[in-house]
Structure 1
Amino acid sequence: MNDSLNNQEADELSLRELIEQYSRYWYLFVIGVIIALAIAFIYLRYTPQLYQSKATIIIKDEKTQSPLEMAAFSQFGSFLSRFKSNQIDNELAIFNSKRLISETVKELQLNIKYEVMGNIKTSEIYGSKPFEVKFQSFNDSLSREKVPTLYIEILSDSEFIIEDETRSSKATYKFGESISLIFGDITVLPNLDYAERFESYINKTIIVSYKSVEDVALSFQDRVNILNADAKSNVVELSIQTQNKEKGEDFLNELVHQYNKDAVQDRNEIAKKTSAFIESRLQIITRELDSVETNKEDFKSTNRLTDIQAEAQITLENASEFNKRQLDVSTQMELSSTMIDYMKNSSDSELLPSNIGISNENVGSAVNNYNELILYRNKLLQTSTPKNPVVKSVNEQITQMRGNILGSLENSKNALKIAMKDLNIQENIISSKISQVPAKEKIFRGIERQQSIKEKLYLFLLQQREEASIALAATSDRAKIVDSAYGSQEPVSPKKPLIYLGALLAGLLIPFGGIYGFHLLSTKVNSRKDVEKHIKTIPIIGEIPKVLKGDSDLIQHNDRSIMAEAYRILRTNLQYLFINKLEESEKGKTLIVTSTIKGEGKTFVAFNLALTLALTGKKVVLVGADIRNPQLQRYLPEHLKTNKGLTEYIVHSDMKVEDIISQSEYNENLSIVLSGAIPPNPAELLMQKRTTTFIDELRNNFDYIIMDTAPSMLVTDTILINKLADITLYVVRAGYTDKRLLDFPQDAIKDGRLSNVAIVLNNVKLNNFGYGNKYGYAYSQEERSFLQRVFNR
């Protein structure tokens, strides 16, 4: 549980430190926001405002148009494939085509731009132009793209001045006169529709710029937006953003008009071509129809036909009748032959069959008579003998009659054979006619079919010609306007709330990013926390604030500044370090002030610490122990800078400590020993026994001995005399010392090269300072301006 509490406290501390890291630079955020909002205001003030104009239309589907309009075109397949297309994307491409937009620009003369010159920016004039420039002609030697910009200043309601874009030459002209310029001829005509506003433009300069229609069309093509929001419908929304709302509305309305005009022209062109096509086909069909009818007439004349079907029916009926007659004759011939054979094979006493179907009535009557005679004879024989004269007479009659019947049958059979022969001949003739009927009928039907096709096509073309004529006279617009173009009341760009919000965010984010980047990329020590993160085993006993411009480098008498209080805190913390460090004695306490590299302020810290200790009434001596690059002289008056110092004392054994000690003019309790002349062998010199003797003598005479030594990492001097000190003050300079150099004192302590080390953080900015104003405690009664307080000056 303790671990979780510690982690929670650590997280809260990290968050608080993070907030403090940025909040201490609050003035940068304020300045950033003010600058960003000012830039946004200037941008909004001088950036042209854009208004959005919209128009909504419905593109008619050709399949839903009236039959009169489309009947003439729906039958011709690929010739009219465009009008059968139901793909709205094709029409959107036409709307946004350079050709159509160029026609719109040309119609509205949008390639000629009028602007009134202001003090800072120019504003476009549209609609209420005081005059209109007519470009009558252009010189062939010059391209229209090189037409210069004209600057026209209106002098009165009748005169004006024209300058070219170089503003090198100008001339005065009258409205309405033809003006010859280097690129061609122009005429400037006053706009009488806005005569009441003409006076407002007097003595103002109007900029007239001419661009090619193609360039302006490309510009509009990039800006116009054509959208079919619902793929299932033909509703299309057109929109464009322009500086002038009226200009955008006129452009969209004219674009729709040009689209309808283009569609009508296309359909009229198709109707004209259709009519021409129909006329040419009618001429061909008429000739072909005449040819077919002539062929039909010749075929009937050649084959002596009136009605081929009726005549074929008659022929078939005749054939059936002949077949029946042939059957009857054949039957009669068979009956006659049977009767003849029967008579030849039978006796005279036998009866002959009667009513067997022989059609010869004489034969039938003769047979009946013959049979009656037989019966009569048989009756006679029943009562008489064959020799009876009556019986003989009857037998004679029977014999004669039998011969007659047989002769009649023979004659009838021969007649039937002749009749059968004639019937066969007639049958062949009729069969021949019947066999010719299908071929003739086929040929005749082919002729009639051709005639029917030609007649129907002829009638169809006549109908289409009339419908095409009607459609040509009654062509409607392709695009139905749902909403004419209308512009927004408020500008859509630039959007003020969004710009100001973006500026506010930028004003906050840019300083935030700068601070974050600075801390991310910075390798320098900036605050106490940076030191504590790298060095956890060495205590930090003091933070020295940065000396501001105009402030004194040294502690003054009765000084209540933040720097003076910082040194007092350092002095107090030193007392705790000296506890248990030395045995109770009257000898002075020795401090070494060193740093990692040159320039970290060890001499500055040593001198002010000596002054602070001297203010308590203690006797303090400040020793310039940096005999390689002495810096203590810069805090002394000129007459003391030439005094002998530590180097001479070590070299000359007869010299006494009193010979090199100088009284400081800053405090009567402070004495100074300079480093002396720079020796050729400083390390070997400090290793002399005289160095230890020097320190021992100072301990006997002073309460505190503060030694300003050389940088520890650069030279070995400090390491050599470190054993002589009770406390080693290691100076780290904020904004100067590299964080990577903080590893050196840790390694030196670990290796035993330095001992009893405490860190003093020098040159700390007030916004990183750990005491004082952070808690609302004022160290000075000095009055500062607002800017000085803001920037910690």
Structure 2
Amino acid sequence: MNELNEEINLREELDKYLRYWPWFVLGTLSCLLIAFIYLRISVPVYDTVASVIIKDEESKGGGLGAGAAEFADLGLLGGMSTNSIENEIGLLKSRRLMINTVRALNLNVSYYDLNGFNSEELYADTPYLVEVVNLNKEELTEADEADLNQFSIEPIQSSEKLQLNFTESGETLEVQPDELVTLPFATIIIRDNPESSDKESVLVKIQAVTDVADTYREAVEINLIDDNATLLEFNLGSPVKQKAQDILDQLIFEYNKEAIEDKNEVAVNTAKFIDERLQIISGELDTVEVGLEDFKETNNLTNIEAESQLIVENASDYRKREQEIQTQLSVAQSIISYLQEEGAESGLLPADIGLEGESVNAQIASYNDLVLERNRILSGATKLNPTVTRLNQQIEQLRQTIMGGLERTVNSLQIAQRGLRQQTNLIGSEIAQVPAKERQFRDISRQQEIKEALYIFLLQKREENSLSLAATSPKAKIVDSAYTLNTPLSPKPKIVLAAAVLIGLAIPFLILYVRRLLNNKIERREDLEKITRAIPIVGELPRIAKGDSDLIEENDRSVLAESFRILTTNLQYLLVNAKHQDKGYCLYTTSTVKGEGKTFTSINLAMTLANTGKKVVLIGADLRNPQLQRYDTESKSLLGVSDYLVNDDHKLESLIHDSKFHTNLKLFLSGSIPPNPSELLRQSKFGRMLDELREKYDYVIVDTAPSMLVADTFLISKYADLILYVTRAGYTEKKLINFAVDAQNDGKLHDISFVINDVKTANFGYGNKYGYAYGQDKPSFWERFKSSL
């Protein structure tokens, strides 16, 4: 049972909207038309995609092949070593990289076609190219706000000159191609595009590089494909396919370019350090060799090595070890001197220059990584950035650690050097008899060998460092260069058309829903039935179209006539239990306020009964505001009810006259307007008048005053067999219906039945619901559409 009730309620709710189906059809067709126009004039936006793999170099060249370890030993893979892919995404979306991209592609100058229906961007197909030589950003910003930063270029017939038209200001300027043109905000040069043969008009718009970069920075989307990988996908929506592809490719190029520069920074600093040391060692080596040469010349020595070969062989092992220690000591002291120099904390340390001790080399590599990371963050932040502060602290701590380690290394080397010298002294005692010249020669030779070994070592490291510069690879490996999908990103026809249908249905629905929500007037039978079911509804009267007659005629087959026939039929069931079965019936028509159509209902009800052959008299009992005279203007001066009640000399038959509407219909008008209508109607004479008329007529219809405004109807209600309470659709407020309900409950009115007047055809509950009477042709679509309004 509950399911049945829910189904009925749902059907009723649907009927409330389906009766306005022409509005839904019109709304849907209108939105579809707008959608088709939108699809026609809109420029499609296509999705351009590119993808790269960010190499993870934290593992010192993992995955690069068998030679990766050798490159790692040479320090070639010690560049950017961040393993945070979020940092790389942030760098790719940085304003700096996008500004470099815009400048490289000259994207701050846009070209648009003036000949097409839409001003489509031309990009590379432009007939002219504008080169911005100089730009005043402040002037350009002011010009951009007033749209003065755009102008059209048109060729001048029979001339090589071009004409610049500034649309907003109305100014024109003739210029020569390939020459400087001074504008208020920039200095430009206009050149012919060799790749375009058409020299048509073109619109040029110049913007600030930073503004364009900010726009594309927001438009480019970079997404991590998998959390466990470093594969990034770039997306950019643009109506110009080639432009979007160039932007993504250039952005990746700028990223790789900066990454390579970042990686080479360590190698460049190392090369600088090695060159400085080579200059010093080269000078010292020259001094030693010149001293050896002078010593030999002065002492006439030719083959002193052969003479002391035996002793040298005994001391060679100690000398070799002392040479290695001296080399290590020189390198360590050089690095300590470098660290103690002013400003050394902001630079990089030379890596892998032959210093023994894995811990010190690892600390130097870590120090360089921290400096690189700090410098890269500083490119987009200030020194007060918490991350920069933290990195500075780590760099300082590691610098102190490196200096401490090097100092300990120097101490260890010095201790070892002293031990070797003691051993050398012991051997020296064995060669005490060797001439002083031999000892001096050996000292000079030893210094020569040490300087020469150090010089060769530095040359080797310089070559290795040059190799690292040549072997630097891009950080972002391109998986797919930028390509554009063929399906437009927007607008999508299916989605647009589906949205148009939904909006076309939603707009009428919302309008009807809000109108119903805010409407406090009755519109249809259901509105009355929701308020009360204690009072029956005996009839619904249709709205009279403009120009149509509001009076029923004889043999009338209109919708109005059919509605009153249904009304009279329903009255027969209500009058079955009337008190005076042997006399005529007395029917009252009243309403809550004026203007609801009680007089209209009274006269047409009388006409309908008269057409059935019944004798009917229509009484105008609204003594304050009589309305029956509107339908019979010739009877305005006749005497009527008020005159009969005031003067006993008037005979009832003399005050009733024939109507011009029907021979069976008599009119008993209200007469003169009295000063005391309530006192007149309160007289028992009014009841006797009705009884007398009942004897002569089949129906006595009394057109009374509005019930809520005056008490006249309440005073005479006891004489009625049935009271027709007229309401008007779109006019009578719902809260006023409670007045009729209370009046019946309080006994002021009895046997009330509602009549709904002025009902739209679409709102008919029963009877002529479909807008045409039985036997008539079905109305046209346009007529049914108008009836739903």
Give the structure-1-normalised TM-score.
0.74
Contact kept? 1:68, 1:471, Cα under 8 Å: no
Whole-angstrom CA distance in 1 between matches of 2:761 and 2:169 = 59
SS of residue in 1 equivalent to 2:491 = coil
Contact kept? 2:562, 2:773, Cα under 8 Å: no
Quote the offset at 1:97 in angstroms: 0.6
Contact kept? 1:70, 1:471, Cα under 8 Å: no
What does residue 179 of structure 1 align with? 181
Deviations 1:692-743 (A, max 9, x none): 2332332233221111111222221111100011111111222222222222
Whole-angstrom CA distance in 1 between matches of 2:28 and 2:138 = 56
What does residue 752 of structure 1 align with? 747
Give the one of 246, 250, 263 matched to 2:246: 250
What does residue 20 of structure 1 align with? 15
SS of residue in 2 equivalent to 1:83 = coil
What does residue 357 of structure 1 align with? none
What does residue 558 of structure 1 align with? 555
What does residue 194 of structure 2 align with? 192
Q: Does 1:539 align with 2:524?
A: no
Contact kept? 2:589, 2:598, Cα under 8 Å: yes
Whole-angstrom CA distance in 2 between matches of 1:49 and 1:597 = 61
SS of residue in 1 equivalent to 2:132 = strand
Whole-angstrom CA distance in 2 between matches of 1:686 and 1:294 = 139
Whole-angstrom CA distance in 2 between matches of 1:647 and 1:455 = 145
Deviations 1:666-687 (A, max 9, x none): 2122222222333333222211
Greater mean alpha carbon deviation, residues 207-216 or residues 529-538: 529-538
Give the one of 267, 273, 291 matched to 1:271: 267
Give the one of 214, 218, 239 matched to 1:218: 214
SS of residue in 2 equivalent to 1:551 = coil
What does residue 162 of structure 1 align with? 164
What does residue 488 of structure 2 align with? 491
Give the one of 85, 88, 104 matched to 2:85: 88
What does residue 733 of structure 1 align with? 728
Whole-angstrom CA distance in 2 between matches of 1:783 and 1:304 = 131
SS of residue in 1 equivalent to 2:570 = helix
Whole-angstrom CA distance in 1 between matches of 2:94 and 2:416 = 58
What does residue 306 of structure 1 align with? 426
Contact kept? 1:138, 1:144, Cα under 8 Å: no
Contact kept? 1:69, 1:474, Cα under 8 Å: no
Whole-angstrom CA distance in 1 between matches of 2:457 and 2:654 = 139
Contact kept? 2:127, 2:202, Cα under 8 Å: no
Whole-angstrom CA distance in 2 between matches of 1:583 and 1:515 = 48
Aligned residues: 633
Quickly say closer, same or farther: Cα 1:682–1:455, change in 2 above 3 A.
farther
What does residue 227 of structure 1 align with? 223
Whole-angstrom CA distance in 2 between matches of 1:117 and 1:761 = 63
SS of residue in 2 equivalent to 1:192 = coil
Amino acid at match of 1:32: G
Quickly say closer, same or farther: Cα 1:68–1:164, change in 2 above 3 A.
farther
What does residue 619 of structure 1 align with? 615
Quote the offset at 1:241 in angstroms: 0.4
Based on CA coordinates, which of the two structures has the bigger radius of gyration? Answer: 1
Quote the offset at 1:458 in angstroms: 10
Whole-angstrom CA distance in 2 between matches of 1:148 and 1:768 = 60
What does residue 786 of structure 1 align with? 781
Quote the offset at 1:609 in angstroms: 0.4
Whole-angstrom CA distance in 1 between matches of 2:590 and 2:738 = 15
Whole-angstrom CA distance in 2 between matches of 1:494 and 1:623 = 70
Contact kept? 1:640, 1:662, Cα under 8 Å: no
SS of residue in 1 equivalent to 2:488 = coil
Amino acid at match of 2:162: F
What does residue 570 of structure 1 align with? 567
Quote the offset at 1:145 in angstroms: 6.0
What does residue 526 of structure 2 align with? 529
Amino acid at match of 2:471: A
SS of residue in 2 equivalent to 1:758 = strand
Quote the offset at 1:72 in angstroms: 4.6
Q: Does 1:11 align with 2:11?
A: no
SS of residue in 1 equivalent to 2:13 = helix
Whole-angstrom CA distance in 1 between matches of 2:234 and 2:580 = 96
Quote the offset at 1:287 in angstroms: 10
SS of residue in 2 equivalent to 1:512 = helix
Q: Does 1:149 align with 2:150?
A: yes
Whole-angstrom CA distance in 1 between matches of 2:620 and 2:669 = 5
Quickly say closer, same or farther: Cα 1:513–1:162, change in 2 above 3 A.
same
Whole-angstrom CA distance in 2 between matches of 1:51 and 1:760 = 64
Whole-angstrom CA distance in 2 between matches of 1:34 and 1:67 = 72
Contact kept? 2:48, 2:483, Cα under 8 Å: yes
Q: Does 1:698 align with 2:683?
A: no
Quote the offset at 1:185 in angstroms: 3.3
Quickly say closer, same or farther: Cα 1:733–1:181, change in 2 above 3 A.
same
Amino acid at match of 1:189: R
Whole-angstrom CA distance in 1 between matches of 2:650 and 2:453 = 146
Pairwise CA RMSD of aligned residues? 3.3
Whole-angstrom CA distance in 2 between matches of 1:711 and 1:307 = 144
Whole-angstrom CA distance in 2 between matches of 1:540 and 1:508 = 34
What does residue 510 of structure 2 align with? 513
Whole-angstrom CA distance in 2 between matches of 1:583 and 1:680 = 33
Quote the offset at 1:143 in angstroms: 4.4
SS of residue in 2 equivalent to 1:14 = helix
Amino acid at match of 1:230: D
What does residue 502 of structure 1 align with? 499
SS of residue in 1 equivalent to 2:44 = coil
What does residue 716 of structure 1 align with? 711
Contact kept? 2:762, 2:771, Cα under 8 Å: no
| Structure 2, unaligned runs of 5 or more | 282-325, 334-409, 431-450
Give the structure-2-normalised TM-score.
0.74
Q: Does 1:684 align with 2:670?
A: no
What does residue 604 of structure 2 align with? 608
What does residue 58 of structure 1 align with? 53
SS of residue in 2 equivalent to 1:581 = coil
What does residue 667 of structure 1 align with? 662
Amino acid at match of 1:128: D
Quote the offset at 1:499 in angstroms: 1.0
Contact kept? 2:725, 2:753, Cα under 8 Å: yes
Amino acid at match of 2:150: T
Whole-angstrom CA distance in 1 between matches of 2:541 and 2:420 = 136
Give the one of 760, 763, 766 matched to 2:758: 763
Whole-angstrom CA distance in 1 between matches of 2:14 and 2:417 = 113
Whole-angstrom CA distance in 2 between matches of 1:485 and 1:145 = 35
Aligned residues: percent identity? 43
Quote the offset at 1:13 in angstroms: 2.5
Greater mean alpha carbon deviation, residues 142-151 or residues 218-227: 142-151
Give the one of 617, 625, 628 matched to 2:624: 628
Deviations 1:24-65 (A, max 9, x none): 111111011111111212222222211111111111111335
Contact kept? 1:591, 1:706, Cα under 8 Å: yes
Contact kept? 1:596, 1:714, Cα under 8 Å: yes
Quote the offset at 1:568 in angstroms: 0.8
Amino acid at match of 2:426: T
Please show how residues 115-126 of structure 1 align to structure 2 within 5 Å. Answer: 115-118=112-115, 120-126=117-123
Quote the offset at 1:663 in angstroms: 2.3
Quote the offset at 1:144 in angstroms: 6.2
Contact kept? 2:645, 2:685, Cα under 8 Å: yes
Whole-angstrom CA distance in 1 between matches of 2:593 and 2:88 = 79
What does residue 329 of structure 1 align with? none
Amino acid at match of 1:60: K
Quote the offset at 1:776 in angstroms: 8.9
Deviations 1:381-403 (A, max 9, x none): xxxxxxxxxxxxxxxxxxxxxxx
Whole-angstrom CA distance in 2 between matches of 1:30 and 1:303 = 112
What does residue 109 of structure 1 align with? 106
Quickly say closer, same or farther: Cα 1:728–1:778, change in 2 above 3 A.
closer
Quickly say closer, same or farther: Cα 1:235–1:783, change in 2 above 3 A.
closer
Amino acid at match of 1:151: S
